Structure 1
Amino acid sequence: MAPLDCRNLILDLDGTLVDSAPDLTRALNHVLASLDRPALDPQTVRHMVGQGAAKLIERGLAHTGGAEGVPAVADLLPGFLDFYGAHIADGSRPFPGAVDLLDRARAAGLRLGLCTNKPQAMTEALMDALDLSDYFDVMIGGDALSGRKPDPVHLDTVLARLGDGPAVLLGDTATDVAAGRASGVPVGVVSFGFSAIPAAELGGTFLIDDFADVDRHLAPLARPARV
């Protein structure tokens, strides 16, 4: 595939830019411990992430005995959010090569956007804690608009705020692929993210096994082949 023209590079957050599984796991286990449920390991939890904190709690309950006889997810959610907010970057880190990619993109003159279903306040807190916010021209969380990915209003708003020019989205789940399709944006899918479905089966435009792979897919970053 020939390198794609790109003026605006947009990234998902959890499972794409940042490995947040350690802290999400601790927050979920905090809730489970309050119910005398067994703790889950990060590898299990990483495939539960997506569609918000309430869905993560729901999946955690299902994995540890079901929802019968425990408080409603809505009642468990504040405890999860309070704990997670206090420990949002204890163990979360950018994936290997992510910061180098951001540096290369900025050096090439690309505008950078963040399109995540994570709530806006937590998005900003995590990005600030990891010193990533200044790379991005636009960051829009999942509760900032009337809809969130894959609703096209989310990605379309990021695109509108970035300005004119061809765009590419990098993500890790079927939600990202669906969002890209809804907005007419090519999607590069990382293979190291949180999707329980193999990345190669998600139907993205191209596959990313390492952030260095992105360069050959985007014309502004592609280097001439050495001879």
Structure 2
Amino acid sequence: MSGLIFDLDGTLIDSAPDVHAAVNKTLEEIGTGGLPLEQVRGFIGNGVGVLMERVIAAKGLSQDAHASLLSIFRRHYDADPATLTTLYPNVAETVAHFHAMGLPLGICTNKPEAPTRTILESFGFLGAFDSIVGGDSTSARKPDPVPLLTARDRLGVTDVIYIGDSEVDAECAQRAGLPFALFSGGYHRQPLDELPQSARFDDFAELPAIIARLLAETA
């Protein structure tokens, strides 16, 4: 049986506004000016620890403050992770389509598991996903393949297609030996043509046809 696993930030959701708000609340709390949205957007993708490393570097702060700033950020972000976050166009319809087909669906994200579940629940799709692996669910984070393979194993399927938006996701899928469908509208930093991919799409309305083709190829 085949299944689908999705990245979250930059793939199903645009979470950058809420991440940005929590970053700036953190900086305000220590008496430092904030950062612009687009700069923070570029920091997303490798987990909250790396996010905070990039914030610290951007503000010229000491990395010795990493643990305390990360704790402040988590307090602000975890308290309200879905106020400004939005779904990308046609995500809700596409997830509902795959769920109605009976395809096992999973999430593999570097976002911690608790806010991941809060966000999915806020959009009404927590029950659509049979496997949710966050950045703190295993001992590794993407692009290490362990989280993605763990999400696959929890789905109880052998064939999986991973859907994501970034170089982190592309490398993770490649290292896991899984097909990868690349969403062009997310948080990638490298040119899209440089990312290993089995297919690419600009709008989630295109994804069912792409998945049908990739599933036929893996059958």
TM over 0.5: yes
**Is 2:84 the counterpart of 1:91?**
yes
One-letter amino acid matched to 1:128: E
Contact map agreement 2:167 2:189 (CA 8 A) in 1: no
**Structure 2: runs of 5+ lacking an equivalent:** none
- Residue identity in the other structure for 1:140: V
Of 108-117 and 159-168, deviating more is: 159-168
> Which among 121, 129, 132 is matched to residue 122 of structure 2?
129
Residue equivalent to 1:139: 132
Q: Does 2:67 align with 1:67?
A: no
Q: Say if 2:196 is the partner of 1:192.
A: no
Q: Where does residue 79 of structure 1 map in the other structure? A: 72
| Displacement after TM superposition at 1:109 (Å) | 2.3
The answer to whether 1:25 aligns with 2:20 is: yes
* Stretch moving more, 126-135 or 96-105: 126-135
Change (3 A) 1:63 1:55: same
Q: Assess, with a 3 A threshold, how the Cα gap between structure 1 residues 54 and 221 changes in structure 2: closer, same or farther.
A: closer
Deviates more, 1:23-32 or 1:129-138: 129-138
Cα distance in 2 for residues equivalent to 1:158 and 1:42: 31
In our comparison, the structure showing a higher alpha carbon Rg is 1
Q: CA deviation at 1:200?
A: 3.0
- 3-state secondary structure, aligned to 1:48: coil
Identity of aligned residues (%): 37
What RMSD over aligned residues (CA atoms) do the two structures have, in Å? Answer: 2.0
Deviation string 1:26-67 (CA, Å, 9 cap, x unpaired) is 011112223443322322211110222222122123223x12
What's the TM-score once normalised by structure 1's chain length?
0.87
Question: 1:73, CA displacement in angstroms?
Answer: 1.0
Range that drifts further, 43-52 or 16-25: 43-52
**What CA distance in whole angstroms lies between the structure 2 residues aligned with 1:181 and 1:163?**
20
Instruction: Please tell me whether the aligned partners of residues 56 and 66 of structure 2 are also in contact (alpha carbons under 8 angstroms).
Output: no
Once the two structures are superposed, residues 46-96 of structure 1 have per-residue CA deviations (whole angstroms, 9 ceiling, x without a partner) of: 1110222222122123223x124x861111111110011112111112111
How many residue pairs get aligned? The number is 215
The match for 1:160 among 145, 150, 153 is 153
CA distance in 2, matches of 1:53, 1:189: 22
State the shift of 1:178 in Å. Answer: 1.4
